[in-house]
């Protein structure tokens, strides 16, 4: 899917200006110095070299005639003394309805093997956040149809939510399910931005979204793992430019999914290191906070529409004190922490209900009933967590009858919060479920009231709404051990 050449279609995105020619004076991997005699290019200007096969972006001006650039394409074959051409404009990407159902790279080049029209608007990837006066202060819930998310850590329309977790705990699967639900139930536009993605993941996502019938209202951009850090660093800005068009010009709600925001920080760290900047804490770039803010603050809710962003955040070594995780936390209105332990127990989605949180979970935003149910669920799960050590040492029989009720209901809540996804039907042979917030709250209330204490735990595993329990109890064999035989 990657490309080492700038396509003709992308060249046409830059208006013809008087040619400002320079000469390559130094090449150090992805860092290239270029000297100009006539006029020095502005910061962020695009420069072409080696017959327009190598694309550079200006990151600093070293003197009145010399600029330092970061390569957005591989620099094989580039040598000192070669001519370089200043395009007089920053990196641009196409915007508009013609981009729907297509897959692009950072240059706005279609990488899905199909022809792409060139007579559509192109916009710079560098934009300022919307003015404060234009940001809407109305707070609304963004309903995902995923029980544990809507009940315990509701997402904000126009807000930013983070999916925190290590490798292999289900971040990408959760993102693809949210894309499916956004397109099928919210009638909005989804934009998927893959930063540092494997080419296999990009191809699989494209095929799965096409089979699910949601590709017509979706745009995909990829800065692949094998591409230079400059390309991976800019693909997030390119995706936001496309999202801003649908929000501001088309007045639509946009779901922007970024997988993985840590790779954006990592690419910035590589660029910083190549530029020779002094590293900060744990080797990260000193400008980490500024670079992340420049991206995150463009995601906002305006009177015209909202960009709701859900971002997967890889946590290095599952360490939540890592600077990348800490800086990302500060921008989020909701945090969904994925647990490796829950994933190993088969509790999918493997969201940890006690570590996950949302700033919307207050009575004046989500209502007294929703807030009360969420607090009761968290309380009973926290009590169960405290009792696990006692159960491991002394056994369930040594608990009081009240504590045994806590364990019984907590384990049934854990299984009720599992859910079959539409995007995993081919792996699980189970039909996906979209569960409304009202159905989720009703199910939690009935479990908390003890209505399902006599049902086996397996009857609540991988179901949709709570009324499926009766049917499930008749047809399912016990896929997870019952509380009477094992409590962990």
pLDDT in tens, 356-411: 999 999 999 999 999 999 999 999 999 999 998 888 888 888 889 999 999 999 99
Question: What was the pLDDT predicted at 269?
Answer: 93
Q: How many CB atoms lie within 10 A of CB 303?
A: 10
Distance from the Cα of residue 124 to its chain's centroid: 22
Active-site annotation holder among 177, 197, 208, 227 = 197
SS3 readout for 93-128: EECCHHHCCCEECCCCCECCCCCCCCCCCEEECCCC
Model confidence at 279, in pLDDT bands (50, 70, 90)? confident
- The residues with which 31 forms a beta bridge, in sequence order, are 28, 70
Give the whole-angstrom CA distance, residue 161 versus residue 335. Answer: 6
pLDDT confidence tier of residue 317, bands split at 50, 70 and 90 = confident
Count how many Cα atoms sit within 13 Å of the Cα of residue 47 in the half-sphere of its side chain: 34
Assign 220 a pLDDT band (cuts: 50, 70, 90). very high
Q: Is position 345 annotated as part of the catalytic site?
A: no
pTM metric for this prediction: 0.84
296 is catalytic: no
CA nearest to 52, candidates 8, 107, 17: 8
Inform me whether the pLDDT recorded for 234 exceeds 50. Answer: yes
Question: 300: which 2 tokens?
Answer: 């906002």
Q: What is the pLDDT of residue 485?
A: 42
* Gap between the Cα atoms of 150 and 156, Å rounded: 10
Going by pLDDT thresholds of 50, 70 and 90, the confidence category of residue 7 is very low
Please write the tens of the pLDDT for every residue from 451-482.
999 999 999 999 999 999 877 666 654 444 45
pLDDT digits (tens, 9 = 90+) for 160-207: 999 887 778 888 788 888 888 877 777 788 999 999 888 777 888 888
Q: What is the structure's pLDDT at 482?
A: 53
pLDDT above 90 for 19: no
Per annotation, catalytic residue among 28, 80, 97, 198 = 198
Give 74's pLDDT tier (boundaries 50, 70, 90).
Answer: very high
Cα 252 from Cα 245, distance rounded (Å) = 9
For the residues of 63-80, what is the DSSP string, one character each?
SSSEEEEEESS--TT--T
Candidate list 157, 171, 404, 415, residue with the active-site label: 171
Check pLDDT > 70 for residue 9. Answer: no
Q: What confidence score (pLDDT) does residue 353 get?
A: 95
**pLDDT over 50 at 483, yes or no:** no
- Residue 197 annotated among the catalytic residues of the structure: yes
């Amino acid at each position: 899917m990657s490309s080492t050449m700038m396509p003709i279609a992308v060249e046409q995105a830059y208006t013809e200006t008087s040619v400002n020619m320079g000469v390559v004076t130094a090449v150090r991997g992805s860092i290239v110095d270029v000297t100009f005699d006539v006029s020095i290019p502005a910061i962020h200007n695009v420069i072409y070299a080696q017959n327009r096969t190598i694309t550079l972006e200006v990151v600093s001006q070293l003197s009145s005639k010399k600029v330092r650039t970061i390569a957005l394409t591989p620099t094989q074959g580039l040598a000192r003394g070669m001519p370089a051409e200043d395009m007089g404009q920053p990196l641009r990407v196409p915007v508009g309805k013609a981009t729907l159902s297509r897959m692009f790279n950072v240059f706005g080049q279609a990488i899905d093997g199909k022809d792409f029209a060139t007579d559509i608007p192109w916009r710079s990837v560098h934009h300022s956040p919307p003015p404060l006066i234009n940001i809407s202060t109305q707070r609304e819930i963004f309903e995902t149809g995923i029980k544990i998310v809507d009940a315990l850590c509701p997402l904000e329309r126009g807000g930013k939510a983070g999916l925190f977790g290590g490798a292999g705990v289900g971040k990408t699967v959760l993102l693809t399910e949210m894309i499916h639900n956004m397109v099928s139930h919210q009638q909005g536009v989804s934009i998927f931005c893959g930063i540092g993605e494997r080419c296999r993941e990009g191809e699989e996502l494209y095929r799965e979204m096409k089979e699910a019938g949601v590709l017509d209202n979706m745009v995909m951009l990829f800065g692949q793992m094998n591409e230079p850090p400059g390309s991976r660093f800019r693909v997030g800005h390119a995706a936001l430019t496309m999202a801003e068009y649908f929000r501001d010009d088309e007045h639509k709600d946009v779901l922007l999914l970024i997988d993985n925001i840590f790779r954006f920080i990592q690419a910035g760290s590589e660029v910083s290191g190549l530029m020779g900047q002094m590293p900060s804490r744990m080797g990260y770039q000193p400008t980490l906070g500024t670079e992340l803010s420049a991206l995150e603050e463009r995601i906002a809710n305006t009177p015209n529409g909202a960009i709701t962003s859900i971002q997967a955040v890889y946590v290095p070594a599952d360490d939540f004190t890592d600077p990348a995780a800490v800086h990302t936390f500060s921008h989020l209105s909701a945090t969904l922490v994925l647990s490796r332990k829950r994933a190993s127990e088969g509790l999918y989605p493997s969201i940890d209900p006690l570590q996950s949180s949302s700033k919307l979970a207050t009575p004046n935003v989500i209502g007294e009933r929703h807030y009360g149910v969420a607090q009761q669920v968290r309380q009973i799960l926290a009590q169960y967590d405290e009792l696990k050590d006692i159960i491991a040492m002394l056994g369930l029989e040594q608990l009081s009858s009240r504590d045994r009720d806590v364990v019984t209901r907590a384990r049934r809540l854990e299984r009720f919060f599992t859910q079959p996804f539409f995007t995993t039907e081919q792996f699980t042979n189970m039909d996906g479920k979209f569960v409304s917030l009202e159905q989720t709250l009703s199910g939690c209330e009935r479990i908390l009231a003890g209505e399902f204490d006599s049902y086996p735990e397996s009857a609540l595993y991988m179901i949709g709404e709570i009324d499926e329990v009766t049917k499930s109890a008749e047809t399912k064999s016990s896929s997870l051990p019952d509380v009477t035989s094992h409590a962990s």
